[in-house]
Chains A and B, each alone.
Chain A
Amino acid sequence: MAKQIIIAGGGVAGIEAAATLADMGHKVNIIEKGSSSGGNAVRWHALFPDRRPAGEVISYLNNRVRNKNIEVTYNTCVNKVRHHGSSLVINLSSGEELKADAFIVATGFDLFDASRKEEYGYGIYDNVITAPELEDMFNGGSLYTADGRVPERVGFIHCVGSRDEKVCNHHCSKVCCVTAVKQAIEVREMLPGCEVFCFYMDMRMFGPYYEELYREAQEVHNVNFIRGKVSEASNTINHKVAVKVEDTLAGRPLRMEVDLLVLMTGMEMSATGASLAEASGLRRGKNRFLSVRDNHMHSNNSDLPGVFYAGTCTAPMSITDTISHARSAALEVNLYLSER
């Protein structure tokens, strides 16, 4: 008899885990809080490091989810998971109760709310935007400031809401550095006359071809990198944004006006995932993401038998890593079900 698996979250991790399990012959029900699947990735225009269109990955996922063994329930959240005898009982926000043999948390991440760093002026100055908003512009095919000018200078602030104890986030969100480099190149390609500046604390080029992308940004695209954390942004009379930073490599404070300021907002534990974890007694770490049973050997396992983790609900990850993590979650689930 086919086993029933429920997955909370229909993003990259949820779909990949579901499809892998469905291929093995299991029945999967994805509970997605939004009205469509794909999660945070659908907003992206292109992906690092090779800048392939994000749509390719999305359509791959869409094909994967079209499987007779997969059912997707939209506009619904998982409120709680608990053991009942040998199976799991899952409470949905719709009030329904489902039974399952295994459960995967794939609730993903929330983007840091940039208005919490008030000093950067997001929500106050029109020309301060976030990285996903820049992706929206790329998708729209044009890049203008809020007052309709073609930007002559764009600044990227790294680590907004990451590595910052002031917003209670000590962790590094991992993917923002390379995303900034990717976006910087895209801006330069779109507007060859536009200068681009990245304000970084450390460049964390951890994956294959990330460092090469960084080099390409300097070599081919003349992207400027200034090492320093921006302390504050202010607006000027002509609707530009002035940033204050220390050029730590020169050892002097630096002031600069940009037409568009892009904030590289980091990843945080998703609010829905957090309330699910609180209700179900799933352990969370100091970074508020879900704690896995073992960081090296059991990175898909929770402390509860039958409850597994996939993707960025455990830590910030790239799409590549998320897909791998989701597949290994599916393997863990299969192993668990076959041993029962």
Chain B
Amino acid sequence: MNFEPFIMPFNIGLYFILAYCVVRCVVWFRGLSRSDKLRLQRGFFGRPFMQSISEIINESLLHRRIFKVNPVLGYMHMSLAFGWFLLILFGTIEADYFGAHHLNPPSRAIFFRFFNPDHGEAGFARAFGFMMDLILAFILSGLLLAISKRFRPKTMGMRKTTKHTLVDRIALTSLWLIFPSRLMAESLTCGAHNSGSFLTGTLGHAMASVMPAAEIAPVFWWLYSLSLGTFFVLLPVSRYFHIPVELFLIFMRNSGIRTGDKASSFTEVQLHACSSCGICISTCQMSKSAGINNIQSAYLVKGLRSGSDVSDITKNCLMCGRCEEVCPVGIELGPLRMIQRRGGEKQYEKIPVIQQYHLKRKNVSTEKEVTHSYSYLKNTTPVKADVLFFAGCMTHLTPSIIQSMKKIFDEAGVNYHFMDESGGVCCGRPLMLAGRDKEARELINHNSDIIWKSGAKMLVTPCPICYKVFNESYYLDVEVLHHTQFIDMLIEEGSLRPGFMNRSVVYHDPCELGRGSGIYTEPRNVIGYIADLQSVDEEAEKSLCCGGSLANFSLSSDKRRNIAADAIQILTKDNPTAVVTACPLCKKTFSSVSETKVTDIAELVAMALPHAKPAALTTVTKNKNVTVSASNS
């Protein structure tokens, strides 16, 4: 075999990137905790392995998830990834089958046409050549879309596309050059040798008739090899590093490794697996409704990767979970942000010695260290009851929910105690959302003590924020139920018999209840007993955030209202008589911008009970002005 110098850039790039990936994987593997290491080892031999393979085919090659969100974008990614994969796969088979030897080096397959210019004259070889041309055409169609997306994102249904660094731009250019230069190189070679299929053959023939194809061809073979080599070498420092990292991430995830509370090498893998596709930006309501375009997960990940200050990005997020739901790579964006929120306080942990000296010189006392503490909370004597009702802070501002729950308890004959009737203690979830787990624990312990001593078997709350923390972070021996679950249970066992009211309503999934706790069916069951439940455009896993989220610490009330107004517009598109939700905060936030009545599921049930007063559901707040001013402000 004679040596061809033009394959050198390709070879250098390929072996470099392979070696780099192996080293990086080893480093990351070593950074895992003991149990995660075991998980990954076990995952490699068994069902998780097959799962990973199928996920790699589905997601890394076919990009099914992107397809679901945006078919055109999905096609673009699929043509590039799956097309390239097919090109390599069939190229290798072609080289192996038709080439001079078996088990060739990769360059033989990549530059097959160069080494076998006369290939594909007849029969099977001809069909193979046709297929290779077809695959190349497939990739080139995706490439056209990619170029148009870069210059005009709106044509692809994207509102925003991520900004690129210089390295990214060079890598992108070399990526874009790979396939056109291959097309040109193959066509010219085919033109000179009068071979090739429908694409390379036709194009080559046309070019050969106007220029000396055999002389020009090497230029494009060089360009082809160079662009491949450049792309591979720049891969680790560019955004395209996500391509190999995603494969590793898939194996880790399928082995059962999760983000957890602290940063680990798994979080690092996730950061590098982000492709900056921008789907999280397009999905984010902060972008759509509030015009805030610098805090989305893609920017958080980017900031974390580059080690820049992300404290403002970290806090300014509704934590609604919509981005995580649509992330095509499946990165745990919520937990990643939470880790960052928890870490935020660390900068205050230590005062450098030199600064201490400075403080002493300035007579500044360092003794008055301010730390958050709830030691002022006093033990209370709990009341014994079967069922504890914890309304939560917000519900005290929506007394209709409390009244309705009391009515429901009485109607069903439940022996309950209203735990925070005259003011309780916060459930601790808001503090956790602020990243202050330690302080939250003080509140959790306080509440747990009351719950334990009450001897109750069940804890019911109408607040999804409280529900999530009771369910996940409290160690209780009682059953924790959101009121939607509790009411569903009462109706099912027959102790509550609401009547059907023949009204059309829509249901809004609160973030903490739906995506946050996976409760989708119970509220729908309950509404189904009472009213005609219409479907809405964005519901269940895709449900919108009301904008009132406690997880955001910077958003202004104007912008919150803009988010709410846009969401309510989508919810009330088909003119339902009421928007039903299952969260006091959602109710409050929506009520201030909605013309349509916003009601909690408990109110709907209480209204449908046989002894209830005549329904007030039809009294729609006729104030068009509210939304007008909301959108003006």
Contact residues of A with B, CB < 8 Å?
113, 115-116, 118-119, 121, 123-125, 165-168, 231-235, 268-269, 271, 274-275, 286, 288
Q: Contact partner of A118 among B398, B561, B625, B632, CB < 8 A?
A: B398
Q: Which of B561-612 contact A (CB under 8 A)?
A: 561, 588, 591-593
Interface 1/0 per residue, B375-400 and A, CB below 8 Å = 00000000000000000000011111
| CB-CB nearest in chain A for B421 | A234
Q: Which of A124, A233, A268, A269 has the most CB of B within 10 A?
A: A124
**Distance A275 CA – B398 CA, assembled complex (angstroms):** 31
Is B399's CB under 8 angstroms from A121's CB? yes
Q: Contact partner of A233 among B399, B557, B619, B624, CB < 8 A?
A: B399
Q: A116-B621, A166-B592 are in contact. Are A288 and B399 (CB under 8 A)?
A: no
B403 CB contacts on chain A under 8 angstroms: 124, 235
**Distance A143 CA – B400 CA, assembled complex (angstroms):** 26
Q: A118-B588, A166-B592, A288-B628 are in contact. Are A234 and B399 (CB under 8 A)?
A: yes
User: Can you list 18 A-B pairs with a CB-CB distance of less than 8 A?
Assistant: A113-B623, A118-B588, A118-B591, A119-B397, A119-B399, A121-B399, A125-B399, A166-B557, A168-B625, A168-B630, A231-B397, A233-B399, A234-B396, A274-B624, A275-B624, A286-B629, A288-B625, A288-B629
B621 CB contacts on chain A under 8 angstroms: 113, 115-116
Is B629's CB under 8 angstroms from A232's CB? no
Q: A166-B592, A167-B592 are in contact. Are A271 and B624 (CB under 8 A)?
A: yes
Q: How large is the interface on B (under 10, 10 to 19, 20 to 34, 35 or more residues)?
A: 20 to 34
**Distance A260 CA – B399 CA, assembled complex (angstroms):** 17
**Distance A157 CA – B628 CA, assembled complex (angstroms):** 27
A115 CB contacts on chain B under 8 angstroms: 619, 621
B557 CB contacts on chain A under 8 angstroms: 165-166
**Distance A274 CA – B595 CA, assembled complex (angstroms):** 15
Q: A118-B588, A121-B399, A124-B400 are in contact. Are A286 and B625 (CB under 8 A)?
A: no
A116 CB contacts on chain B under 8 angstroms: 591-592, 621, 623
A271 CB contacts on chain B under 8 angstroms: 622-625
Q: A269-B625, A271-B623 are in contact. Are A123 and B616 (CB under 8 A)?
A: yes
B308 within 8 A of A: no
Interface 1/0 per residue, B388-420 and A, CB below 8 Å = 000000001111101100000000000000000
**Distance A200 CA – B513 CA, assembled complex (angstroms):** 38
**Given pairs A231-B397, A235-B399, 18 additional interface contacts (CB within 8 A):** A113-B621, A113-B623, A116-B592, A116-B623, A119-B396, A119-B397, A119-B399, A124-B400, A165-B557, A168-B630, A234-B396, A235-B403, A268-B623, A269-B625, A271-B625, A274-B625, A286-B629, A288-B629
Is A232's CB under 8 angstroms from B592's CB? no
A231 CB contacts on chain B under 8 angstroms: 397
B630 CB contacts on chain A under 8 angstroms: 168
**Distance A121 CA – B403 CA, assembled complex (angstroms):** 10
| CB-CB nearest in chain A for B397 | A119
A233 CB contacts on chain B under 8 angstroms: 399
| CB-CB nearest in chain A for B396 | A232
B2 within 8 A of A: no
B363 within 8 A of A: no
Q: Which of A115, A123, A168, A234 has the most CB of B within 10 A?
A: A168
A123 CB contacts on chain B under 8 angstroms: 616
B398 CB contacts on chain A under 8 angstroms: 118-119
A119 CB contacts on chain B under 8 angstroms: 396-399
Q: Contact partner of B626 among A124, A168, A232, A234, CB < 8 A?
A: A168
Is B623's CB under 8 angstroms from A118's CB? no
**Distance A232 CA – B396 CA, assembled complex (angstroms):** 7
**Distance A216 CA – B561 CA, assembled complex (angstroms):** 42
Q: Contact partner of A168 among B396, B399, B616, B629, CB < 8 A?
A: B629
B502 within 8 A of A: no
**Distance A235 CA – B398 CA, assembled complex (angstroms):** 13
The 10 closest A-B pairs by CB, nearest first: A168-B629, A119-B397, A288-B625, A124-B400, A168-B626, A121-B399, A124-B399, A118-B398, A232-B396, A232-B397
Q: Contact partner of A286 among B402, B592, B593, B633, CB < 8 A?
A: B633
B629 CB contacts on chain A under 8 angstroms: 168, 286, 288
| CB-CB nearest in chain A for B616 | A123
Q: A118-B397, A274-B624, A274-B625 are in contact. Are A286 and B632 (CB under 8 A)?
A: yes
A168 CB contacts on chain B under 8 angstroms: 561, 592-593, 625-626, 629-630, 633
Is A118's CB under 8 angstroms from B400's CB? yes
B592 CB contacts on chain A under 8 angstroms: 116, 166-168
Is A118's CB under 8 angstroms from B399's CB? yes
B402 CB contacts on chain A under 8 angstroms: 234
B633 CB contacts on chain A under 8 angstroms: 168, 286
Is A232's CB under 8 angstroms from B624's CB? no
**Distance A235 CA – B402 CA, assembled complex (angstroms):** 11
**Distance A119 CA – B397 CA, assembled complex (angstroms):** 5
**Distance A55 CA – B628 CA, assembled complex (angstroms):** 37
Q: How far is the CB of B594 from chain A (nearest CB, A)?
A: 10
A124 CB contacts on chain B under 8 angstroms: 399-400, 403
Interface 1/0 per residue, B247-268 and A, CB below 8 Å = 0000000000000000000000
| CB-CB nearest in chain A for B589 | A166
Q: How far is the CB of A208 from chain B (nearest CB, A)?
A: 32
Q: How far is the CB of A280 from chain B (nearest CB, A)?
A: 15
**Distance A288 CA – B403 CA, assembled complex (angstroms):** 34
Q: How far is the CB of B463 from chain A (nearest CB, A)?
A: 15
**Distance A168 CA – B630 CA, assembled complex (angstroms):** 7
